[in-house]
Amino acid sequence: MGMRSWIAAGLLALALVLGAFGASADAPAPQVGVVRVAKKPVRETSEFVGRIEATDRVNLVARVTAFLEEIDFKEGAEVHKGDLLYRLEQPPFEADVAAKAAQVAQYQAQLQNAAITRKRAELLLHTPAGQQSTLDDARANELALQAELMQAEANLRISKINLGYTEIRAPIDGKIGRTNVTVGNVVSPSSGTLATIVSQDPMYVLFPVALREVVDLRKRYADQGGLEAVILRLRLPDGRIYGETGHLDFVDNTVSQNTDTLLLRGVIPNPPLEAGKGAAKGDQMGARELTDGEFVTVILEGVQPIEALTIPRAAVLTDMAGDYVYVVGAGNRIEQRRIVLGQTSPAEAVVLKGLSEGELVVLEGLQKVRPGLVVMPGPATPSPAPDKAAAAETLKAE
């Protein structure tokens, strides 16, 4: 009885397997949603890590030795060229100017007397009372006093310059940092930097680019005007796209030996923020979006769009070997196709190699397909149109 039970169970299992096989063989081909590979106008972009740098930077230093009497600025505020920032003790320098002016007046008086003496000697030269030696001495004395007067006038100018140095004014427009010295201290040329001013608008953005990428960029835009065919955008540290655009203005002439990169520089506006857009109402600190030394992502974007093969980003799969898609080939049979991607976004991807225009790529039902499987392709469900608010925000970001 035991042996018969085992035989019966085996026959039943075999029947179930054969039945399942027959059922799978008769199952209809799975339906998948496909999209057709097509060319679309896209703007070529490249991204690099960059750093914001002020176009002008001035370290304020004292040019004379004196006590600091006044600090006439607010730390962190924006200042304008010519604004008074520091006032040093002035009375000693004013006294020195007065002393040098008196010395100039003294030599002027002596020079006038010497000129009179020389003229008198010239008149007496052709008389019995006149002597050539007397005239020569008078001329020499006049010339010596002229030289001494010039020296005194030069000393007076130096004293006036030193008096002017007791007022330290802003040489450029920009934002001033914190002061390194307080009222009551003695400052001198050896005291170092009193404060630093950095310009605010426009700003530089410097970013290193691998030499191979520089060559690619040069080839890509050579026929479109070179640097003039590229606009520069920034992605800020919080992920937002900066509202202003800039342009490249400098490419270094030496490749870094340590990193094999070339330094590029762009110029971009940095206007003050409006109240309600990052700046408080009545903000006197000159709030701006870009700050000297800030890290940003630099986006180089072609001015003119180009035609490129594009597919939805959701159709691209990735494994250890790279990116691939499933293509519906002859007889509606699935093929796995390795591809090389260009620039991508959350919605679309540019395909550089691996696909041809017009081919059908599986977008929906990817979990049901495998290479060699016959499928029933149909149009993929269109992506829902973004609402007006989202569209407006996207356009604003662009």
Residues 6+ apart with CB under 8 A from 319: none
Distance CA 32, CA 30 (A): 6
E strands present in 120-241: 167-169, 174-176, 186-187, 195-198, 203-210, 230-235
Region 97-103 average pLDDT: 93
pLDDT at 194: 94
CATH topology of domain 91-164: Helix Hairpins (1.10.287)
pLDDT at 301: 78
Exposure of 53 by Cβ count < 10 A (0-12 exposed, 13-18 middle, 19+ buried)? middle
Distance CA 157, CA 154 (A): 5
Q: How confident is the model at residue 392 (pLDDT cuts 50, 70, 90)?
A: very low
Distance CA 145, CA 138 (A): 11
Query: What does the DSSP 8-state code read for residue 285?
Result: S
Lowest-confidence region among 6-15, 238-247, 271-280:
6-15
Tell whether the model's pLDDT for residue 375 goes beyond 50. Answer: yes
Q: How confident is the model at residue 97 (pLDDT cuts 50, 70, 90)?
A: very high
Half-sphere exposure of 36 (CA within 13 A, CB side): 7
Tell whether the model's pLDDT for residue 61 goes beyond 90. Answer: yes
Report which residue type is found at 234.
Answer: L
Tell whether the model's pLDDT for residue 59 goes beyond 90. Answer: yes
Distance CA 110, CA 116 (A): 10
Tell whether the model's pLDDT for residue 282 goes beyond 70. Answer: no
Query: What does the DSSP 8-state code read for residue 29?
Result: P
Distance CA 359, CA 145 (A): 100
Q: How confident is the model at residue 281 (pLDDT cuts 50, 70, 90)?
A: very low
Choose from 14-23, 210-219, 221-230, 318-327 the range with maximum mean pLDDT: 318-327
pLDDT at 196: 95
Q: How confident is the model at residue 95 (pLDDT cuts 50, 70, 90)?
A: very high
Distance CA 197, CA 189 (A): 18
Domain residues of the chain, as ranges?
A: 29-43+308-397, 46-55+199-306, 61-88+166-197, 91-164
Region 19-37 average pLDDT: 69
pLDDT at 55: 94
pLDDT at 215: 81
CATH topology of domain 46-55+199-306: Elongation Factor Tu (Ef-tu); domain 3 (2.40.30)
Q: How confident is the model at residue 381 (pLDDT cuts 50, 70, 90)?
A: confident
Per-residue pLDDT reduced to its tens digit, 139-188? 888 888 899 999 999 999 999 999 999 999 999 999 999 999 999 999 99
Per-residue pLDDT reduced to its tens digit, 328-373? 988 888 899 998 887 677 778 888 888 888 889 888 888 888 888 8
Tell whether the model's pLDDT for residue 3 goes beyond 90. Answer: no
Name the one residue in this structure whose structure tokens are 């991204």: 47
Q: How confident is the model at residue 118 (pLDDT cuts 50, 70, 90)?
A: confident
Distance CA 21, CA 28 (A): 14
**Arithmetic mean of pLDDT over the chain:** 82
Q: What is the pTM for the complete model shown?
A: 0.66
Residues 6+ apart with CB under 8 A from 340: 323, 351, 352, 353, 354
pLDDT at 344: 73
E strands present in 162-229: 167-169, 174-176, 186-187, 195-198, 203-210
Q: How far is CA 353 from CA 211, 313, 324, 325, 357, in A?
A: 23, 15, 11, 12, 11
- Is it true that domain 61-88+166-197 has CATH number 2.40.50.100? yes
pLDDT at 347: 79
Tell whether the model's pLDDT for residue 211 goes beyond 60. Answer: yes
Q: How confident is the model at residue 26 (pLDDT cuts 50, 70, 90)?
A: low
Region 104-133 average pLDDT: 80
- Say if CB 171 and CB 58 are below 8 A apart: yes
* Bridge partners (DSSP) listed for residue 35: 361
* CATH level 2 (architecture), domain 29-43+308-397: Beta Barrel (2.40)
Tell whether the model's pLDDT for residue 294 goes beyond 60. Answer: yes
Residues 6+ apart with CB under 8 A from 320: none
pLDDT at 275: 58
Q: How far is CA 148 from CA 105, 110, 153, 397, in A?
A: 11, 10, 9, 71
Distance CA 341, CA 361 (A): 15
Lowest-confidence region among 11-25, 96-110, 267-281:
11-25
Distance CA 170, CA 189 (A): 17
Q: How confident is the model at residue 86 (pLDDT cuts 50, 70, 90)?
A: very high
Query: What does the DSSP 8-state code read for residue 19?
Result: H
pLDDT at 390: 42
